[in-house]
Structure 1
Amino acid sequence: MVLSRRTLLAAPLALSACAERPLFGPSLKPAPELAALAPAAPREFRAAWVATVANIDWPSKKGLSTAEQQAEMHAMLDRAVELKLNAIIFQVRTSADALYDSKLEPWSEYLSGSQGQAPEPFYDPLALWIAEAHKRGLELHAWFNPFRARQSGARSALAATHLGKTRPDWVKSYGDQLWLDPGEPGAAEHSLAVFKDVLQRYDVDGIHIDDYFYPYAVNDPATKQEIDFPDEPSWQRYLKSGGTLGRADWRRQNVDTLIVRIYKMVAATKPQVRFGISPFGIGKPALRPAGIAGFSQYDKLYADVERWLAEGWLDYLVPQLYWPRAQQAQAFGPLLDYWHGQNARARHVWPGLYTSRITDKPESWPVDEITGQIALQRQRAPANGTGAGHVHFSMIALQQNRRGLVDALKAGTYTDAALVPATPWLAAAGSVPPAAPQPGLARQSNGQWQLSLAAGSGQRCACWLRYGERWEFRAGSELLLSAQGLDAIVVSAIDRLGIEGPRVAYRLA
């Protein structure tokens, strides 16, 4: 069965400052001869989607108080740190709505239960998610749906400021949902303005869109025949303007145009921010590996993902590979190889994992399906490092430690911290790598030491600890260390593009 989100509906180890009062610290003596001895930093994008639509992940239900929402947020971010993840992909626009303070679209109903109602007492969820993620050494990518205007599980009346009220000419009813027509130039312009607004006002690490372009097809209940998307007015306008493309190619052109405009807008506005896309996981029928079959997003969603990779209109691709390794027609391994094979521009390609298929029901996937997929992702990653990473759908499965999943990941999969892979093609010509952070070491009354690393704004810290002949890698700006046998540390700073600056080494006296 082919699945999509339509059918669903470390982190660098960065410990908060120790509460115990520091007593005194050993001296740190510069030891430049040690800097080159520390091994390369592990690199792997380890992320989880936090879905807000239909309250899949956060908040757990509508109408929670501000304090309850924030407590759930802190718990999720702490779990990400515990697992040594290094990024969160947080859904900020589910259906032409906002999980942040916006003048362009109304507050999402998934917060209060009523679209257009701000949190009370007031706070800005996106701003707080970013601040708390960064405090823990986690990246925060803002996840948008570009065209959906109302999801099937919505219950609130549309707010007066929703596009369904203000621009009904852009909004089409299709099945039990509302959609912006991608063929309406004004609708595409509005979505682009929403992305730019968030990019300009919030310190996000990425702009991310999912697999919904034109909607997944709906069948007529009576005839069982597929209903075509109702874009006749925009299609006729295109033809009258002299357009010569067939309807399917015109629809693909509409989507292509938005993709390239988002990519160029992000690069022009904040070049250090990455643009990522998470499409359906099966490619064009004409290009698929032998034995692979199923839904064609090229023909039904009008998403020419292969072209986006070929043109370099994105920085990372997260194909939703939501099938088990042994399911032949949609086998995880061959599909992963397929997307790596399409990646001529050497962009990041990180598979999306259907981690939420681990449940308490008999049909649940076994835990080793997810740990096995991660192992296969690592095995199949190209030597150039473009395949080092994966994303879990979604955070709730990790938060609930379903069937001991978290225990298994901690025990064998995420034993060490990892840095996000670098994105060097976004670095400006002549840019300078970040200077090494300034370290401070204080002994705690419990016998541990607290290492504090002060780096530049937006930078993250990497640290290698030498215990005799063994090196231990850690990431974060506030680290609790075991003092037993520790004789040296090496530190460096990582900039917003994942590029590491020079290392500085110290011996402990």
Structure 2
Amino acid sequence: MEIISLKNCSQLIEFSKFSSHHLIPTPKLKYFFVISLLLIQLNINSQTPRETRAVWVSTNYKLDWPPPTYDEIIQKEALINIFNNLESKNLNTIYFQVRSNGTVLFKSSLELFSPYITGEIGKFGGYDPLEFAVQEAHKRGIEIHAVVNTMRVFSGNDNSTKNNPLHITQIHPEWAYTKLDDKSIWLNPGIPAVREYLIELIDEIVQNYDVDGIQLDFIRYSENQINDNSLLNEKSQNESTEDWRRNNITKFISHLNQKIKVTNPKIKLGVTPIGIYKSIPNGRGMEGFSNVFQDTRKWLQLGIIDYAVPQIYWDAKTNPKFDVLTKDWVDNSFGKNIIIGIGAYKSEVINEIERQINITRALNASGMAFFKYKNIEQKRFYSFEDKALPTEMPWIENIPKLAELNLASNFINNKILLNFKIDRKLKTDNGYFALYECDNFQINSNKNLIKVFPNYISEMDFSILHPNKINYYYSAIQYDQLWNGTSTESNIAKISIPKLKLIENSIEVYNNPVLLKNGNTSVLLIYSNLEEEITLYSNKGNNTNSLLSKHFLKKGYNEIYLNYDLLKYNNAIINFLKDNRSVSLQ
């Protein structure tokens, strides 16, 4: 290490190379991921922010996935790229469509496998798409729900699908009716056997896959031309047709909820209804309640669903208005999660999407969901600069005994090594560790969530590209599959960057800065006894100074990265405004 003396005991230290900033696989870490430690980080409260940030990954018509190829390697790579992108955007929930057109993307004893993977309906490929999606989502600490197109079992022009002799409408034509205008085919929920069949189909998913939730789409009748007259219908003489239809859907959801909660008590059951429950001023249009017989408000009140994602796919300027409908849904949540569906596929919506996010927050919604992935693929969310965990659903389970989590740390071969130690008996099944960077060594310091990953990983290591301080502080918490904290917050692990620590220890005159040089990058290491503001000038002579930059110092050591090469200025001056002094670098 070369030290060059500068006027007033300022110093220049040349680092041979800054280490790259990424996580390296260890024997206990079978995949790698990237952490971006920002030079300027948002300070947040010590409690982790909660907000469900979801997106639909649509598979019907291959809207988002799979790509237009039957090469399974390319298919899997495409899904990994989608999930990586969502993680980088700080989204935390995926609604993955697994049933459309009466075919499925999972192993089922009841329905045909989708032709989208192999090109042939009913032919299973070399991998299980839902199993693969669940594994990849959970690796990234992302929740995943299986989305089921419930009552609509065919739409579009691919008649080979509906004409397959093993399609549900061919096996049981008496269960279905056709909507005359678009020739879509719908199951009749007024027939008890239809409801029982769908419950058995969905329970297959819950039994065989580690999904976090089931989401029911098209959980309704078609909006008009309903030809559901059948000798198989179960109808009371005292019911109107409208009430009967609504009760058919409610019965189905109630029985489904009972069934799948026995199979997996932690499963979340949600619906994505029409965005207008009943028309209200500035919120008028097709109604879920009257036009398609969805009584979502009753489902929430009865507690037979855990969340609803109303499809409020309009802007905030015209009728129906986004903010008006959002408030109507949140005000009638009955204590359950209301996650607002945002129509990112519409130009008038994508142009105000940050505003819509802020509206959902101001109205205390549980989060937001974007339809669909392709429409946000290139979108940077300025509202999601920090990570968040999904909103809790505390009514689903009692929070178990809190385990004690210990975080051990070391610095080896220019890498930070973290080890997560917890009693095996208290390690949550299908749980996660959340890693935080803390401001300081105090247990109540502000902390920033930087990574969520499965708790079967007990060790990780990573390096920091541009260390902007001498000491880094980390803590961790264990969460279960429902995002309840199942451990106390760990101890705070302190890691000192050895090269910067050596510089700190070598400084004899604390009031003078140190300049670190790496190529064209300049880094100032400055100690301050108080919170301070400094300005950097280039001295052009004759008392004419040119302002280069301004910076704020915290009390203690500060590392400031400059986006210019300070050494190219023969005379550079640092002014300390509060301390009323100057340091000249010559």
Q: Deviations over 1:41-71 (max 9, x none)?
A: 111101111111111111133x421111101
Where do 1:76-475 residues align within 5 Å?
76-119=82-125, 122-157=126-161, 158-175=163-180, 176-217=183-224, 228-234=225-231, 237-238=233-234, 243-285=237-279, 288=280, 290-327=281-318, 329-344=319-334, 346-357=335-346, 364-365=347-348, 367-381=350-364, 387-399=365-377, 401=378, 405-406=379-380, 409=381, 412-428=382-398, 431-437=399-405, 439=407, 441=409, 443=411, 445=413, 447-451=414-418, 453=420, 456-468=428-440, 471-475=447-451
Q: Are the counterparts in 1 of residues 436 and 476 from structure 2 also a CA contact under 8 Å? A: yes
Task: Return the letter of the residue paired with 1:151.
Answer: S
Q: Are the counterparts in 2 of residues 100 and 107 from structure 1 also a CA contact under 8 Å? A: yes
Q: Kindly report the root-mean-square deviation, in angstroms, between the aligned alpha carbons of the 2 structures.
A: 2.5
CA distance in 1 between counterparts of 2:276 and 2:463 reads 45
CA distance in 2 between counterparts of 1:481 and 1:243 reads 71
Q: Deviations over 1:56-93 (max 9, x none)?
A: 111133x4211111011101110111111111110111
Q: Deviations over 1:180-224 (max 9, x none)?
A: 11111111111000111110111010011124411133xxxxxxx
Residues 231 and 433 from structure 1, CA distance in 2 versus in 1: closer, same or farther, beyond 3 angstroms? same
Q: Are the counterparts in 2 of residues 92 and 98 from structure 1 also a CA contact under 8 Å? A: yes
* Matching residue of 1:492: 477
Deviation (angstroms), 1:252: 0.9
- State the TM-score, normalizing by the size of structure 1: 0.80
Q: Which one of the candidate residues 63, 68, 73 is aligned to 2:79?
A: 73
Larger RCO (CA under 8 A, 6+ residues apart)? 1
Structure 2 unaligned blocks of 5 or more: 1-20, 29-43, 422-426, 454-459, 496-586
Task: Return the letter of the residue paired with 1:278.
Answer: T
Residues 114 and 155 from structure 1, CA distance in 2 versus in 1: closer, same or farther, beyond 3 angstroms? farther
Q: Are the counterparts in 2 of residues 437 and 456 from structure 1 also a CA contact under 8 Å? A: no
Residues 419 and 70 from structure 1, CA distance in 2 versus in 1: closer, same or farther, beyond 3 angstroms? same
CA distance in 2 between counterparts of 1:277 and 1:243 reads 29
Q: Are the counterparts in 2 of residues 109 and 156 from structure 1 also a CA contact under 8 Å? A: no
Residues 442 and 153 from structure 1, CA distance in 2 versus in 1: closer, same or farther, beyond 3 angstroms? farther
Deviation (angstroms), 1:140: 1.0
Which SS does the other structure have where 2:94 is aligned? Answer: strand
CA distance in 2 between counterparts of 1:249 and 1:347 reads 24
CA distance in 1 between counterparts of 2:245 and 2:84 reads 42
Q: Which one of the candidate residues 484, 489, 497 is aligned to 1:503?
A: 489
Residues 370 and 91 from structure 1, CA distance in 2 versus in 1: closer, same or farther, beyond 3 angstroms? same
Deviation (angstroms), 1:433: 4.1
Deviation (angstroms), 1:379: 1.3
Larger proportion of helix:
1
Task: Return the letter of the residue paired with 1:338.
Answer: D
Q: Are the counterparts in 2 of residues 16 and 136 from structure 1 also a CA contact under 8 Å? A: no
Residues 486 and 332 from structure 1, CA distance in 2 versus in 1: closer, same or farther, beyond 3 angstroms? farther
Which SS does the other structure have where 1:426 is aligned? Answer: coil
Deviation (angstroms), 1:155: 4.4
CA distance in 2 between counterparts of 1:342 and 1:507 reads 44
Which SS does the other structure have where 2:477 is aligned? Answer: strand
CA distance in 2 between counterparts of 1:127 and 1:107 reads 14
Q: Are the counterparts in 1 of residues 429 and 480 from structure 2 also a CA contact under 8 Å? A: no
Deviation (angstroms), 1:424: 0.8
Which SS does the other structure have where 1:352 is aligned? Answer: strand
Residues 444 and 280 from structure 1, CA distance in 2 versus in 1: closer, same or farther, beyond 3 angstroms? farther
Which SS does the other structure have where 2:368 is aligned? Answer: strand
- State the TM-score, normalizing by the size of structure 2: 0.70
Residues 440 and 105 from structure 1, CA distance in 2 versus in 1: closer, same or farther, beyond 3 angstroms? farther
Structure 1 unaligned blocks of 5 or more: 1-14, 23-36, 218-227, 358-363, 382-386
Q: Are the counterparts in 2 of residues 108 and 115 from structure 1 also a CA contact under 8 Å? A: yes
Deviation (angstroms), 1:262: 1.8
Residues 309 and 453 from structure 1, CA distance in 2 versus in 1: closer, same or farther, beyond 3 angstroms? same
Deviation (angstroms), 1:443: 4.2
CA distance in 1 between counterparts of 2:123 and 2:129 reads 13
Task: Return the letter of the residue paired with 1:297.
Answer: G
CA distance in 2 between counterparts of 1:70 and 1:499 reads 31
CA distance in 1 between counterparts of 2:229 and 2:199 reads 23
CA distance in 2 between counterparts of 1:366 and 1:161 reads 41
Residues 44 and 485 from structure 1, CA distance in 2 versus in 1: closer, same or farther, beyond 3 angstroms? farther
CA distance in 1 between counterparts of 2:187 and 2:99 reads 13
Residues 413 and 453 from structure 1, CA distance in 2 versus in 1: closer, same or farther, beyond 3 angstroms? farther
Task: Return the letter of the residue paired with 1:98.
Answer: V
Q: Deviations over 1:213-272 (max 9, x none)?
A: 11133xxxxxxxxxx31111147x545xx5321111111111111111122223222111
Q: Deviations over 1:66-123 (max 9, x none)?
A: 111101110111011111111111011112211011111001133334321222xx11
% same residue: 25
Figure out how many residues of one structure are paired with residues of the other and give that number: 438
